[in-house]
Structures are given as C-alpha cells and as structure tokens.
Structure 1
Amino acid sequence: MSPERRRRAAVIVLDACGVGELPDSAEYGDAGADTLTHVAQDAGGLTLPNLGELGLGNITTILGVPAAGAPVVHGRLHPLGPGKDSTTGHWELMGTITPAPLPTYPDGFPDAVVERLRAATGREFCCNKPYSGTEVIDDFGEHHLKTGELILYTSADSVLQVAAHDDVLAEPELHALCATLRGVMTGPDAVGRVIARPFTGRPGSFERTTGRKDYSLDPPSRTYLDELADDGVPVHAVGKVHDLFAGQSIDAAHPGKTNAQSIASTTALLKDLDGGLIFANLVETDQLYGHRHDVDGFARALKEIDDAVGLWRGLLGPDDLLILTADHGVDPRSSHTDHTREHVPLLAITAGSDGHRHDGPMSDVGATVLDWLTGREAPELPGAPFLASGFTAAG
C-alpha cells in the first residue's frame, strides 16, 4: 500500500439482525424467519433515521423505516456454508466457509465427552442440557453453590458453555478452565465455541457478568484477514471478533463486552486510526434481547446503534469505507430462542459510490475490504468486491 494513501475500512456486525429466510431455512426449523421485519412489527415500528437514510428500508420491508430516495450500496447477503451461529457467520464475512456443520448436542453431551471434561479439569458438572443462559443459572445456580458442580450446557448452536459463580470459581480460573476444555473438544467434538459464563448474586437474583469469554476453533481455511496481514494492513477487532477468529491475523483487540463499549471503541478508532480495518461486533441485539425474544429491548438497542451510525458517518473521510451487516438472525417469532438461519443486511458507505443494490454471498464483504485497503483481490477465496476501489486511479 502506498505510504501516501492510508485507507480505512470498518465492518460493523449488528449481531443477529437477519433480514429474511434463506431457501434452506426450513431445514433448520426456521421457515419464515425475518428478524428485523418481525421486531419492527411487534414493536409497533422502529425509528431509525440514520439507517433509514442509508437504505435499510430498501433492503426489506421494516415498519417505521421507509425506503430512502438515495440509498447507499444496499442489499441482502447469504452464507455459502451450513450453520447459523456467530462463529460461522463472522467467518463467512471474511471468506472462510466451514466445510461441514459444526457438531451440536440437542440431548446434551454424551457420557464419554463429559468424562473427558472431568478428567481434563478435575471438576464435576451438572445440567448438561440445551438451555437458555439466563434460565440455567436460575434453575441450577443454587445447586452449583451448594455442590461446587459447574453448570455445563449447550444450545442449538455448536457451543459448550460453562457457567460458574464467582464465589465457586473466580473469573480468571473459569477462563483457564474453558481454555483447557477448548483443547479437549477436538476431532468430531470440535464445537465452534467453548464459552465461559461467569455470574454473581444470590438465589433468586443471579446475574451474568461481562466476563464472558469465547474460545473458538481456528478458522478452517485462509481468511481475508490473513490477506490483509500479508500486506501489512493492521486489523483492529472490537468485541468478540478477536475470540471468534482465535486471534488469527488480528493486531489489536478493543473492549466490546457491551454495545456501549463497542460503540465507544469503534468511535475512538474512527477518530484516531490512520489506516487499516476496524472489525466490530455489537452483541446486545443477540445476547441480551434476541435470545430472550425481548422485542422492546431489541428495538432500544437498534435505536442506540442508529445514533452511533449517525456519529460514525461524521467521522468518515474520503478514503474511508463503512460496512454495516450481520451474522445470522434471531427471530422473536420463532418457536425456539436460538439463532435463525437468514440473509443478513448490507449497507456500505463511502464517498463517491453509487447506491446500487447488491445481493450476494457474505464473503463479498471481505473481498471488498481487501480491494479497498490494498487495491488487489484474492481469487482463491470466495467472494468478489461490490465496490470499485478506485485504488489504482487515485494512488
């Protein structure tokens, strides 16, 4: 990259903000899923002036968000591989397609797996079922405090989760234990993520802390982040992005346990960073509200994101690219409380580009970022740029 031309790109993932079912959604139990449309309808309409001006209402029908007269690049993106979780969703955005579905455990983990967990950690476990993360501490927290057994649970996604009260296992010890479990869950049991879930409080008022930590598999193939690293382009991860890529080809991790933290980190980077990629996750539409089918909370989080987008637009320079997208859905009308397999939105903002419609694979995001920041493509990776970088002409 020419030293005279320091470009920036920011990819912001609005976690779980899906925009409509995929052709195979019914195979996942998600026929008719349409997260943002249903959140808007059930909330009585959304007020999102910044996202609306960019063209969110041009992507699909969202009550309260009319189509814009002059949208930016906008459309719907789809995964190329199986799954509907955060790990594979973020991987897809950066050009890594998982070759087969990651293992799930709808009946809990088999005895042989649990025995491996015991042998690796010297701890006993309780629960061992698919469970809501808030309900599991309500139902098993008191037992956990009395016995010291750690709360082991999963979901419809490829995850192994361990919840522990700070009085039983301090947060650093829980993190260390889950790192050990990551090393145990290999081969056919290589779940996408091992997640530490610390909590505090007393029976009847348990609360999860912000000390969650995800231990992901390494991406199964080369990513656009690797391509950027080869060209010396710095990558700054905000929130759980660092964990989802197991830190691979990421230069710095910035706080993002909450949306407020992620927004503050992203804002600071847009003010101060002189070149490179900002790759951020805004988690609360998934973690706090989506899985609980809390439509009002989801709508409030979207309004806070909309306000942040308005701020970020004012921080963009002529050589900056801002992409807003998602990783999957979590439809509040679903019969379950897990992720839903859906298209994800695309809004791409940069100076001088026309506001055309673009529908394509999620990996087009990574391809566009690489081209924007380096002026080249990576033909061996899936995806193609949806913007002309103008890099050669301008550089």
Structure 2
Amino acid sequence: MAYMDGITCICDNGRTLEDHRPIVGDDVISGIYRKAASLRGKRVLHVNSTYQSGGVAEMILSLVPLMNNVGIDTRWNILNGDGEFFAITKNFHNALQGQAVAFSDEEKDLYLQTNEAFSGQMAIDHDLVVIHDPQPLPLIRFYRKTQPWVWRCHVDLSNPNPALWEFLKGFVLDYDRMVISHEHYRRRGMPMEQWICRPAIDPLSEKNRDLSEAETAALLAKYGVPTDKPLVTQISRFDKWKDPLGVVEVFSEVKRHVDCRLVLCGSMAPDDPEGWAIYRQVEDAARPLIDAGDVILITAEDHLLVNALQRASAVILQKSLREGFGLTVTEGLWKGRPVIASRVGGIPLQIEDGVTGFLLDPTDTEGFAWRVRQVLENPDLGERLGRAGKEHVRQHFLITRLLSDYLDMLNAELTIQEA
C-alpha cells in the first residue's frame, strides 16, 4: 500500500524480511540481519519524482518497508513538479540516453527553481540521502550538507548528450557517491566512487507474487484479453526507447506464420508527458490488427494484471532501443516465461543468450520474429528457458539482494564520514 501525505510517500506493504525466507533461504536472511545490526536507528531518506508507474518507484516501495523492518528509519519523499517541469526532465532523460536535444536557459532555470521551491518544503537531517535520477538532482545545492548524499541514476549513461551531461555533472560533483546499474555507465572524470548496484524485483509484490490459474483467468477476462490464441506480450511504458512500433512490426511478421495475439501493456506515468503521443502512434500503426482483435493495447495501472499477463504469455518481448536495466525482463523471467529481448543496457546481465532467454540486436526485426516463432512452435524450448531464467533471477535480482547492497553502501558511507 502506498499513498501520499504531503510530499511523503507512506508505504507499508505488510511484508517483512522473514516473509522472503522461503524464497531466498536462511543464509541470505541471516546475512542481512548481521549487516543491519550496527545500523539500527540510522535515518535514510529517498527522494524521487513519482510514487507510481515505473521500476524505480516500485523498487523504493518495496525497499523502504524492508529497511524499516531491519531497524533503519527510512523515509521516501516525492518531488513536486508541474507539467512543464516534467516535460523538461523527460527531455533530460532522452538526452542522457543519447538523443540530440537542445535546452534553453529558461528551461534550465525552471528546473532549478522547481528544486529550490521543493527544498523549502523538506527538512533533511538524515544520516544518508539518496536522490534518484535527474529530476531532484539539484536539491543538494539548496541545503547545508551535513551527511553523505548519493545520486542513484537508473538510466543508461553510456552515451549521454555532451551538453546536457556537462550541465548535470556540475550537480553530480557535489555528491559523495554515484550509483549506476552497469559497468558501461561509468563516466570519466568523476572524483567520487561510481558504484554498481543492479536493480531488483520484490517476489512478493502484487506484480510478482504467485497467482492461481483462476486469478489469472479472471484478470484477463476483466480486461478483455482472450486466451484462445498464444499471447505475445510486451510490458512497458509507451515510450520510444521501448520501441512499441518495432514490436508491432515483429508481431506482424510472426502473425504471417503463427496465429497468435499481441498485448502491449503500459501505464502512463505522471512524470512522462510523452506517453499518450507514443500510444496514439502505436494505435494508428496497428489499427487493422486492433480491429481484427489481434493486437490489444492496455494503459491500466494494475500490477495484478501485469502479473497475469506475464504468467499467461507464451512469449514475452522487450525490444528496447536503450534500457537502463529492464526490470520488465526480470519480472518476465521470474514468472518462468521465455523472454526475447534486445542486447542493450542491463538486459544482457539478465539473459544469457540461448540459456535464460534470447538476445538480439534491437533493429533486427526478422531475428526477433524468427525467435518468437521458434518458441511458439517449440513449447519445450520455452519451458527450458523459463526455468533457467527464473533461477537466475532468484539468485541475483530479488529485493533481498538490493537491501543487502544498500546496507553495504550505508555502512561504507558512515564509516567514511566517521573516519
């Protein structure tokens, strides 16, 4: 459960660390308790720009209660911004992932003014501050810094727009640590530690918990998703970097050989003003297939629906052009389903080609279509990939590992501060 109380997100999902013991085992749980022992009573603040829609918010939503559960007083605040602010920061996001975008002085001023105004609503007296992504990055300039600040960047920084990176770097240099998801995202010339911390999913969340066949069937029926044909799905925001138009092209090729149905499901995040424009482009491109009932577009914010769709899928796609990490891949693998995805960003950390799924160049439409056909026509292959993928996630990409990593970071930063 999460709701907003002013700028603070109140999240208590009722799950404890002990609830994860049957999934991850005794050694993992006891190791977390040992790491947390010397940190009890410490105070941590997370700040980002939305409490819903997207992997970052979902990770914080699960991480905060677990940090509190092991004795660390952890809070989560949400930056308040208007539509113009989020249009600017969406462009920042695109530029960090390599798009050529121009920014006016007025836009940069609004970016700073929004952060300055927000700083007046929020006192910071915590032992560690974690700022997520570019939206609240300048906050550090508007406080008297008395504790370590960490910038956690969740996007692909391998080839950022040089002008924007130079602008943002001025703020990043004020931080004590920069946290990234992949070795390739390291930036030259940064004096602080650039620490790799890979994202994770909560196996007990509504999006990932076990569902019965009856629950799955009821959810699909509620949203008008027939199960008379194999389902091919992509779960992602309607975002150009997720290439939903390319997914429609892949499906059109597959459909010529195998009778199946495509579902594109992506909620509309408050901090992503481009979503509806991309949705309309996809709707126009897929109109004949939509009218024939072979393509279904869904924009509902329903984690149980996502869970059901992934479990019911014969194939899960993630045809991203850029990807910071790709938690939708993690989710699909956790459901034991075969995932076919682009060889970009953090996805190859999750998929070993031919072992836990299939990887392709994101522009290889024919290759994607061939792999989808291969899995649809060989269900045993899909089952083998699914089993291996789920075990890989269990070992490397669950929320307990993320909690352990954050405890390591808190221990390290406080040790440096006390030295």
Instruction: State TM-score, norm by structure 2.
Output: 0.30
Answer 1 or 2: higher relative contact order, Cα 8 Å, separation at least 6: 1
Specify which structure has the higher proportion of helix: 2
Instruction: State TM-score, norm by structure 1.
Output: 0.31
